[in-house]
Amino acid sequence: MFYLLIASFIWAFSFGLIKGKLTDLDPSLVSFLRIFISFIIFIPVFKFKKINNPKLLIHLLVIGSIQFGLMYISYIYSFRYLKAYEVALFTILTPIYVTIINDLFNKRLDYMSLISAIVAIMGAWVIVYSRFEYMDFITGALMVQVSNICFAVGQIYYKKVMSKYPLIQSSDIFAVMYFGALITTGLFTLTSVKWSSVSINSSQLMSLLYLGVVASGLGFYLWNVGILRSKISTLAVMNNAKIPLAVLCSIFVFSEHADWLRLIIGGSIMIISVVISEKYSYPKYLG
């Protein structure tokens, strides 16, 4: 769970950064550039000899395309329609998707995993809930759900595939997953970006570098390492850890205001969900 928590801390900065700096750039272009930066970082540690099975190569490309590529495009696209806190709000459904998708893979239903995920959602909802000031958020909400589902599918798919290759380290093959995401985001970029109007200022460039090197590069690596070391129920719960962390980030970094009572109550509920996950859910390591 340590790796998942560190990744959540890293991602806590992304909501305000994307909303404040990158919403005037095409979402496909933003996705492609940050993934390209991450891909470049992991090329030096890529070990092609580790991938001696063509099926593994295909699996990794598909996982990257879904978990990183399609997820990022829909996620960043949602910021055109939603405020940053609203994007955070709609990500609270990810634990349910993780639990349900994993159960579909296993052809069984773990009720305690489902309960812990629901409790985590309740805690996150307490923290970020507020009354909407307008109704033009349906498109953004749907895009966030597409992003959530893609991220959940990618996590379970990765855990299932890599459980068959215990001797392969995530760092050995991560460049392949980023390449899969590059193909997806590249195709979207070619069809949607008006290159003549593209202009990236220094502030946006620094934001893209942070997102590519730290949020996408280091963050996704740590998260996927944590995936292999965590129970599915814990993984589901930790998908919401970034929400209270994002609130704290907005308070102390971006000088925004938050309801401390909601933060304390919601955070406590999420801690309870972790306890439920660790104590009462069966291990559920895919393999």
User: What are the tens digits of pLDDT across the range 96-114?
Assistant: 888 888 888 877 777 776 7
CA distance 243 to 128: 8
Asked whether 195 and 32 are in contact (CB, 8 A), the reply is no
DSSP class of residue 257 equals -
Residue 287 is predicted with a pLDDT of: 40
Rounded to the nearest 10°, the torsion over CA 29, 35, 39, 41 is 110
Most confident of 50-54, 218-222, 244-248, 266-270: 218-222
More confident residue, 221 or 140: 221
- Token pair listed for 149: 């589902």
Residue 29 is predicted with a pLDDT of: 94
Average pLDDT over the chain, rounded to whole?
84
Residue 84 is predicted with a pLDDT of: 76
Asked whether 266 and 36 are in contact (CB, 8 A), the reply is no
* C-alpha closest to that of 145 among 183, 187, 184, 94: 94
Residue 161 is predicted with a pLDDT of: 92
Q: Is the pLDDT of residue 131 over 70?
A: no
Asked whether 241 and 270 are in contact (CB, 8 A), the reply is yes
Question: In the chain, which ranges are E strands?
Answer: none
* C-alpha closest to that of 192 among 18, 25, 23, 28: 28
pTM exceeding the 0.75 threshold for the entire prediction = yes
Percent of the chain with pLDDT over 90: 38
Which residue carries 């639990």 as its tokens? 99
More confident residue, 118 or 43: 43
